[in-house]
Each structure stands twice: as structure tokens, then as C-alpha cells.
């Protein structure tokens, strides 16, 4: 299987050990490294879909734009996506109506349809060759769910102005014969890395600057330090998926989940290019009710790649359901084979992290408490449209134009009707702090084989240990530098993950996902003292 990096995690390329199809099938998108102090009008931090769309929109509006990316373009969660571009939101429209009311739900539906149109228009305008296709999508029932959900959702999507249809079957899925689905027409899909390459080329073509392997730190209203150099800017956009400038607010409004993907060969012509989603596991212990999501991508002349995802859990808490990471792929393969029996060899598997916002919609706008620092975060499983909306909305705000969705997505909004979910997730976070007094997940480092890691309790200390392929032991503190969560070993992606707010670290302690800003402190150890 073509899934693995050469080294545990090359965080320039991606944020986990397993390579996604998109990354494995494209050249890394690299620009020069920032190596001097500079001034710019607009500084965008983060080279995923949100950062690139923002830089593109503002360069097009005539602004002087600079984008800095810690790794390479797409090396964060964008490179690990499945790239359904859709207005069928993770959370149901009838739930959105309860939280935001009818008018704002119409706005939410409009905004996602507008994002799809924007991508379509931009692909054509910039002549981006990224396998972009307009396709239909189908929402069907998870076995734990009842038809009432589809009825309510159909009604709510109609009220929201979407051109959905209720169908008496699930197109192309024989095992769901006789069951209902909602058709969402006019959705889309693309190869994300080819799309990002096209956007990056267009930004540079308009005079924008992009720097890769350029990490921003000490983000403030005057700019940031990038690779230790001062970058002075009038406006700063933090598009790092989870804000790395967050001190007090955003980590209390969104929760990190890991989600799993497989890619299987399927003979061409067996299935139409479409998107499929089920309505999610209603018996799950997780608030986000994990759902399955499936699409096709062109692979070669003979085969398409069927890309199927799901089996989510809260970051760092896979074992709380007694389903370790590896078993999640097994379950996903089983689920997929049952519904798409024409699949052949599984040639990819990877996982990634999504940030689930408390009230279903992303946070796009001024960072609470700041005048010239903006954020795009909380985009859940709809990051293609939310990330695109990030660019569309921020370019209007920064240019002084009105935007119909500014208030809806404001990071400072208060939505009172989500109190139950909020308390549940806060309770989950508090429970994670018990790990301070529990023992580690392994007893001694001596038992670790090359390529394995774990958490050891040594007296009052928690230590994150990893034995590399050369048999050298690496040790760091297992206490998250964000707010002190105890890290968990992720054996699948070979990272140390924080169960509180989703910070993640390489086996050598380098931070790969915020909100933590810095690396783990290394610990000098003698193997025999770690037992
Ligand atoms: C498995 C999976 C499947 C998904 N499927 C879908 C889907 O089908 N449809 C959909 O709409 N969404 C989907 N999503 C969600 C979507 O992929 C993400 O929400 C979206 O890609 C996030 O984009 P982003 O630009 O906000 O973040 P990222 O792509 O993570 O970009 C942030 C960038 O910031 C960089 N960075 C971080 N800190 C710094 C720093 N200090 N200095 C400089 N750079 C920094 C990172 O290296 C990273 O490249 C999926 C996600 C996953 C994981
Ligand atoms: S991410 Fe907040 S404590 Fe670890």
C-alpha cells in the first residue's frame, strides 16, 4: 500500500505518517524560505485552502499580499481532505434552524452554494487543471437513524432555498435499495493539491509573495516573527486551521476530531461520479455523530479511486470506545465493501483532524478582541466551502465592503441554543485532566519496538517516548504546552495528540497542529531510568 512517509512525519509534506492520495499523486508545492525582515500590507499565515483563497481574493482586489506557510503548500489538513465541495452540511439544516432561525439558515445555505460557484468560476478563470467536476450528492440513512430525519432535513433544505429532491432509493448503492435519500444537485469535487497549486500560481502571477518552510510566531497587531525575522503588516489573517494566536477564546468554541479515510481501486464505469453521505451514527458517544462520506476520483485509464471516510473519534480518545486507530480502517473497509462491492485493492489509507464548531458553522472574521487580526477556523467536515468562504468574507471585510455573511460567521457570535452540547464537550475535556493522576499507557520504554511510542509515568512526570527505526529512544514531556493536557500516542499517524484541544506533535516533539504554539520540551533520559 502506498501510504507511508520515509520518516515518521515529514511535517513539511503532511501532518501524519500516512500519505493521502492527493499528496502521493502530486509534486510538493514549494516556494522560497523567508530569510529576511520584510514589510507587507497583508500577511496571511497558513497555506491551506483558507489561507490561499484569502491571499488570492485580496491579491485580486489589488492588495499587497504575503503568505507564509510552516511546511509546504497543502501540508496541513487540506492535503488530507476528501474534497467534497458541498452545501450538504455535516450538521443538519433542521438543527441549524433551531440554533440560528430560518433567515440565517437561508443565509448559510446561500453561502455554501456561493462557495461552490466561486470555486467553479475560479477554476475556469485561472484555467486550473484539477479534475474539477460538478456532481450530485446523496444523503441517506445510517442504520441507527430513522426516516424522520430525512423528512425533516428535506423540509429544512427546501425552506433554506436549496433545490433538493427526495428520492425513493440511494443511487448506485444496491445494498440501500428501497431506502430513501435526499439528492443535493450541483455539488462539486476536485483534486485538492492541483487546485491549491493553481491558486498559488495565480497569487504569484498577481504579484503576491509566498514563502514555505516559514513559521510565524509571536503573532501580534504589528505582524509576526517569521523564521525569527520581523514581518510587519497592516492586516494579519491567521489561517492555520486552529488559530495559533489563541489565548483565551477559540479553543472553548470548537472541538478536535480525528477522521479516517481509505482509497480503493474500482474499475472505471462501475459508479457515476457522485458524493454520498450517511446521516451518522446516532448511538455514538461523540456529539458529532460520525458519518460516512464517499466519492470517486480519476486514478488511471482503467480505474477510479473510491475514497471513503468516517469512523471519527475525539482526538486522543480512540481507545475510549475500545477501537484503536488501526481497527477503524478495518471497520471502514467492511462498511465500504458492503455498499460498494465492486471495489478491489485498498491502496491508500490516511487520517486527519477536523475542528467541530460548537454551533455547526465556521468562525470567520476578526479575532475576538483584535482590530486587525482575523481568523478562519472551526470548519468541521465542510472545510472546502468554509475555507473558500473564509477568503470571500475576509476580503470583503478587509476591503471595507459589505458582506451578507459577516455576522453569521463572526467568531464573536453568541449562540445560546447549544448549551447541552457545550456542557457535554466541556465535561469530556475535564475528564481528560484525570490523566494527570492515572498511570501512562506503557509501563517501560524497554518494551517499545522500533517505530513504537507511548506515554510513561516516571514519578510525578509524564513522558512521551518514541523508539526510532535505528533503535534510539526519544523522550519529551507529555504535558501539552497549550494548557497542560496529557498527550496520547497515536500509533497510526505516529504522533503525540492532545485530547483537550487537538494540538499534535511529531515523535520528536515538533508541533504540527495548534493551538499549541511551541514544541515539546525534550528530556534527556537513560533508558534504564524509564521503567
Ligand atoms: C480526512 C478528512 C476529510 C475531509 N473531508 C472533507 C470534505 O470532503 N469536504 C470538506 O469540505 N472538508 C473536508 N475536510 C475538512 C477540510 O479538509 C479542512 O477543514 C480544510 O482543509 C482546512 O483548511 P485550512 O486551510 O483551514 O487548514 P490547513 O489546510 O490545515 O492549513 C493550515 C496551514 O497552516 C500552516 N501553519 C500552521 N501553523 C503555522 C505557523 N505558525 N506558521 C505558518 N504556517 C502555519 C499548516 O502547516 C497548514 O498547512 C476533511 C478533513 C479531513 C481531515
Ligand atoms: S491543546 Fe489545549 S491543552 Fe493541549
Three-state SS at 252: helix
Residue 481's contacts (CB-CB under 8 Å, 6 or more residues apart) are 503, 511, 516, 517, 518, 519, 520, 521
**Backbone Cα Rg of the chain:** 22
Category of 238 on φ-ψ map: left (φ > 0), alpha (ψ -120 to 50) or beta = beta
Residue owning the nearest CA to atom 50 of ligand 1:
81
Q: Which residues line ligand 1 (CB under 6 A)?
A: 45-51, 68-71, 75-78, 80-84, 215-216, 239-241, 244, 259, 261, 293, 309, 352-354, 376, 379, 381-385, 387, 514
Within 10 angstroms of residue 223's Cβ, the number of other Cβ atoms is 23
Average confidence (pLDDT) over 212-224: 96
- How many angstroms separate the CA atoms of 277 and 142, rounded? 9
Give the model's confidence band at 420: pLDDT under 50 very low, under 70 low, under 90 confident, else very high: low
Note whether 505 and 476 are within 8 A (CB). yes
pLDDT at 480: 96
- Its pTM stands at 0.95
Rounded to 10 degrees, the C-alpha dihedral 27/29/33/39 comes to: 170
Per the model's pLDDT, the better-predicted residue between 50 and 289 turns out to be 50
pLDDT digits (tens, 9 = 90+) for 505-529: 999 999 999 999 999 999 987 765 5
8-state DSSP, 479: B
Residue owning the nearest CA to atom 53 of ligand 1:
352
pLDDT at 457: 86
pLDDT at 432: 63
Category of 118 on φ-ψ map: left (φ > 0), alpha (ψ -120 to 50) or beta = alpha
Measured at the CA of 19, the angle between CA 17 and CA 23, to 5 degrees, comes to 140
Using most ligand atoms within 8 A of CB, pick from 10, 50, 133, 241 the residue to mutate for ligand 1: 241
DSSP string, 313-360: EETT-GGGGT--HHHHHHHHHHHHHHH-TT---EEEEEEEEEEEETTS
Strand partners, 479: 486
Average confidence (pLDDT) over 40-57: 98
User: 59 C-alpha vs ligand 1 centroid, how far in Å?
Assistant: 21
Q: Measured in whole angstroms, how far is the alpha carbon of residue 322 from the centre of its chain? A: 24
Using most ligand atoms within 8 A of CB, pick from 11, 72, 240, 260 the residue to mutate for ligand 1: 240
455, containing H or E segment: strand 452-458
Is any atom of ligand 2 closer than 6 Å to the C-beta of 239? no
Residue 252 clears pLDDT 80, i.e. is over it:
yes
Find, among 248, 505, 502, 145, the residue nearest to 356 by Cα: 502
- Which segment of 306-320, 378-392, 430-444 scores lowest on mean pLDDT? 430-444
User: 77 C-alpha vs ligand 1 centroid, how far in Å?
Assistant: 3
pLDDT at 122: 98
Is any atom of ligand 2 closer than 6 Å to the C-beta of 482? yes
Residue owning the nearest CA to atom 41 of ligand 1:
216
Using most ligand atoms within 8 A of CB, pick from 249, 482, 487 the residue to mutate for ligand 2: 482
pLDDT digits (tens, 9 = 90+) for 167-200: 999 999 989 988 999 999 999 999 999 999 999 9
- How many angstroms separate the CA atoms of 513 and 71, rounded? 12
Average pLDDT, the chain: 93
Q: Measured in whole angstroms, how far is the alpha carbon of residue 307 from the centre of its chain? A: 16
**High-pLDDT (> 90) share of the chain, %:** 82
Helices and strands of the chain, counted as H and E runs: 9, 24
Amino acid at each position: 500500500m502506498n501510504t507511508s512517509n520515509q520518516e515518521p512525519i515529514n511535517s513539511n509534506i503532511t501532518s501524519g505518517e500516512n500519505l493521502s492520495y492527493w499528496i502521493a499523486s502530486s509534486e510538493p508545492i514549494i516556494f522560497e524560505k523567508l530569510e529576511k525582515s520584510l514589510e507587507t500590507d497583508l500577511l496571511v499565515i497558513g497555506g491551506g485552502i483558507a489561507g490561499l483563497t484569502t491571499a488570492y481574493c485580496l491579491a485580486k482586489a489589488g492588495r499587497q499580499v504575503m503568505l507564509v506557510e510552516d511546511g509546504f503548500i497543502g501540508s496541513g489538513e487540506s492535503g488530507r481532505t476528501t474534497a467534497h465541495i458541498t452545501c450538504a452540511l455535516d450538521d443538519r439544516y433542521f438543527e441549524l434552524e433551531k440554533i440560528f432561525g430560518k433567515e440565517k439558515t437561508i443565509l448559510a445555505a446561500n453561502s455554501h452554494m456561493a462557495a461552490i460557484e466561486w470555486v467553479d468560476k475560479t477554476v475556469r478563470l485561472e484555467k486550473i487543471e484539477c479534475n474539477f467536476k460538478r456532481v450530485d450528492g446523496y444523503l441517506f440513512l445510517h442504520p441507527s437513524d430513522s426516516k424522520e430525519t430525512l423528512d425533516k432535513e428535506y423540509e429544512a433544505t427546501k425552506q433554506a432555498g436549496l433545490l433538493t429532491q427526495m428520492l425513493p432509493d440511494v443511487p448506485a448503492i444496491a445494498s440501500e435499495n428501497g431506502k430513501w435519500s435526499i439528492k443535493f444537485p450541483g455539488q462539486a469535487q476536485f483534486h485538492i493539491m492541483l487546485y491549491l497549486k493553481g491558486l498559488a500560481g495565480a497569487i504569484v502571477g498577481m504579484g503576491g509573495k509566498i514563502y514555505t518552510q516559514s513559521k510565524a510566531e509571536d503573532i501580534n497587531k504589528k505582524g509576526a516573527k517569521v523564521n525569527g525575522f520581523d514581518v510587519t503588516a497592516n492586516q494579519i489573517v491567521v489561517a492555520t486551521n486552529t488559530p495559533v494566536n489563541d489565548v483565551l477564546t477559540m479553543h472553548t468554541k470548537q472541538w478536535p476530531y480525528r477522521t479516517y479515510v481509505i482509497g480503493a481501486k474500482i474499475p472505471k464505469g462501475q459508479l457515476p461520479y457522485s458524493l454520498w453521505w450517511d446521516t451518522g451514527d446516532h448511538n455514538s458517544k461523540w456529539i458529532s455523530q460520525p458519518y460516512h462520506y464517499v466519492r470517486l476520483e480519476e486514478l488511471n485509464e482503467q480505474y477510479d479511486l473510491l475514497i471513503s471516510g468516517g469512523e471519527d473519534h475525539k482526538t486522543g480518545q480512540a481507545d475510549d470506545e475500545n477501537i484503536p486507530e488501526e481497527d477503524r480502517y478495518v471497520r471502514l473497509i467492511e462498511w465500504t465493501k458492503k455498499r460498494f462491492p465492486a471495489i478491489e485493492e485498498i491502496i491508500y489509507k490516511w487520517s486527519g483532524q477536523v475542528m467541530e464548531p460548537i454551533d455547526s458553522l465556521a468562525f470567520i472574521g476578526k479575532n475576538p478582541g483584535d482590530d486587525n487580526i482575523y481568523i478562519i477556523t472551526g470548519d468541521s467536515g465542510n472545510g472546502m466551502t468554509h475555507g473558500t468562504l473564509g477568503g470571500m468574507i475576509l476580503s470583503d471585510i478587509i476591503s471595507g465592503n459589505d458582506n451578507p455573511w459577516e455576522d453569521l460567521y463572526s467568531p464573536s457570535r453568541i449562540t445560546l441554543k447549544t448549551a447541552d452540547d457545550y456542557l457535554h464537550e466541556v465535561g469530556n475535556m475535564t475528564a481528560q485532566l484525570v490523566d494527570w493522576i492515572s498511570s501512562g499507557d506503557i509501563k517501560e520504554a524497554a518494551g517499545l519496538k522500533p517505530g513504537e511510542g507511548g506515554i510513561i509515568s516516571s514519578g510525578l512526570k509524564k513522558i512521551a517516548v518514541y523508539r526510532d527505526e535505528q533503535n534510539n529512544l526519544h523522550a519529551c514531556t507529555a504535558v501539552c504546552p497549550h494548557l497542560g493536557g496529557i498527550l496520547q500516542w497515536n500509533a497510526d499517524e505516529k504522533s503525540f495528540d492532545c485530547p483537550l484541544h487537538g494540538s499534535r506533535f511529531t515523535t520528536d516533539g515538533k508541533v504540527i497542529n495548534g493551538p499549541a504554539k511551541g514544541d515539546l520540551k525534550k528530556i534527556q533520559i537513560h533508558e534504564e531510568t524509564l521503567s
